Structure 1
Amino acid sequence: MKSRKILRLLVLPLATLIITGSSCNKDDDEPAKTKTELLTSGAWKMSAHTVNPAQDLDGDGQSDDSDVFATYDACDKDDLTSFSTNGSGIISEGATKCDPSDPASYPFTWQWSNNETVLSLLGEDFTLIELTSSTLKVSFSYSDAGSTYTETLTFTH
């Protein structure tokens, strides 16, 4: 009898905690954001740009370079890309411009295709690899001199 009372005293508060803890999960109350909402949630800054297979990006005669982003000038690394829900967008020069006579920003249009798995802009179709609230990762492929190359671009907020 005594053991039942102790068991009840332990189980009741534990069950209450489990029930109230699981019903107050904030994530359950918020609907998942659409791809357009994620894409248009703020300015994106490129954090990586790679190519596969590797190429001779540094001019040393060896096709052993895959980090395209490492070849960017500092004035290009701070550029920001913003998407609007109406299908327009802007690439901003960021804090530093490579050429003072260049415009501060460049407009573009964009659209989804293939069930929102392809992002089309600037005359190129980018395959969507990842899109979260903090990461946009896309790729595109092309052929040159009998080889097919895939470039992957990663942007973050």
Structure 2
Amino acid sequence: MKNVKLLPVLFIVLLTFNACDKDDDDSKTQTKAELIADKNWVLTAYTSKENNDPVVDEFVYYDACEKDDVLRFSKNGTYEVNEGATKCNSADPQVSENGTWSITDDTLALTEAGSSLTNNAKINELSKSKLVISATQTYQNETYVETYTFLVK
């Protein structure tokens, strides 16, 4: 008789744990803005492509002092580019660029402080540790695509 009464109690306990597990999974889902904010992003790849030409690796031309620069997006909608541990010119300010950012759908918009021009980039990939964006421009019937890959430092 005790076994029969114990079975409904076990069933309720199992349902409760399953409901808690589902809640935990839902809380792990983050928006793009939450995934990008308050992390130090370092550029690890940069390529360009013009029309149907082959992709060109532009990152190989970067100096070591440029490869350690840090891009940081704050939750309050501002961003900054920090020169990192090594500066190319010791007289340069530690923060080389700052401004505001926002995300709408799959578009990352950056507006540098003091500028009215907003640069838009398509978010190709975004995870907790990787960001891949691309910017496409057309000029005199030529299409240029630049792709940037950042990893969390």
Taking structure 1 as the reference length, the TM-score comes to 0.71
2:135 maps to a residue whose letter is: F
1:34 and 2:43 aligned: no
Deviations 1:48-92 (A, max 9, x none): 0001138xxxxxxxx766001111111100000000111101110
Pick from 93, 96, 101: which aligns with 1:110?
101
1:39 maps to a residue whose letter is: I
Q: Hey, what's the Cα distance between the residues in 1 that align with 2:80 and 2:99?
A: 6
1:119 and 2:119 aligned: no
1:155 and 2:150 aligned: yes
Q: Hey, what's the Cα distance between the residues in 2 that align with 1:28 and 1:103?
A: 46
Q: Hey, what's the Cα distance between the residues in 2 that align with 1:101 and 1:82?
A: 22
1:51 corresponds to: 48
1:70 corresponds to: 60
Deviations 1:14-56 (A, max 9, x none): xxxxx8xx949968614201111101041100010001138xx
Deviations 1:67-119 (A, max 9, x none): 01111111100000000111101110001001111100132211123xx3111
Residues 25/72 of structure 1: CA separation in 2 closer, same or farther (3 Å cut): farther
Q: Identical aligned pairs, as a percentage?
A: 35
Unaligned runs of 5+ in 2: 1-13, 113-117
The alignment covers a number of residue pairs equal to 129
Q: Which structure has the bigger radius of gyration?
A: 1
1:130 corresponds to: 125
Structure 2 counterpart SS, 1:75: helix
Q: Hey, what's the Cα distance between the residues in 2 that align with 1:90 and 1:27?
A: 37
Q: Hey, what's the Cα distance between the residues in 2 that align with 1:64 and 1:34?
A: 34
8 Å contact from structure 2 (residues 43, 69) kept in 1 = yes
1:139 and 2:139 aligned: no
Unaligned runs of 5+ in 1: 1-18, 55-62
2:50 maps to a residue whose letter is: P
1:83 and 2:78 aligned: no
